[in-house]
Amino acid sequence: MAVLIDTPVWPWRGRRWSHLVSDVSHEELHAFVAAELGIPRRAFQGDHYDVPEDLYDVAVAAGAQPVGARELLARLTAAGLRVRKRASAADRAPR
């Protein structure tokens, strides 16, 4: 199993969040999340799940491998599973 989680440092709505990915398949990631964390599939962000800091230790105890954010991104990209965020209309507007 190659489920990876980065440190919960990403702030949003008063909490800190981690990214949880698989460098094998999205199916592996969905199965891990459903079995171990109970996060609904609708929370899937295209290539990762956001995991609140209170579930970080649960994910690691269940087998997620802690890695740095750069390693997580590198392994996700190398596996061909990285989905780049689409540019918004504001990002595409001439400056």
For the chain, give the percent of residues with pLDDT over 90: 85
Residue 75 in domain = yes
88: in domain: no
Q: Considering the domain boundaries, does residue 94 fall inside one?
A: no
pLDDT band (50, 70, 90) for residue 85: confident
Residue 3: band (very low, low, confident or very high) from pLDDT cuts 50, 70, 90: very high
pTM: 0.85
Residue 33 lies in a domain: yes
What SS3 state is found at 60? helix
Q: Which amino acid is at 87?
A: A
Q: What domain range is 24 assigned to?
A: 3-83
So what's the pLDDT on residue 40? 96
Instruction: Count Cβ atoms within 10 A of the Cβ of residue 22 and give its class: 0-12 exposed, 13-18 middle, 19 or more buried.
Output: buried
Query: In the chain, how many domains are there?
Result: 1
Q: Would you say residue 1 has pLDDT above 90? A: no
Residue 89 lies in a domain: no
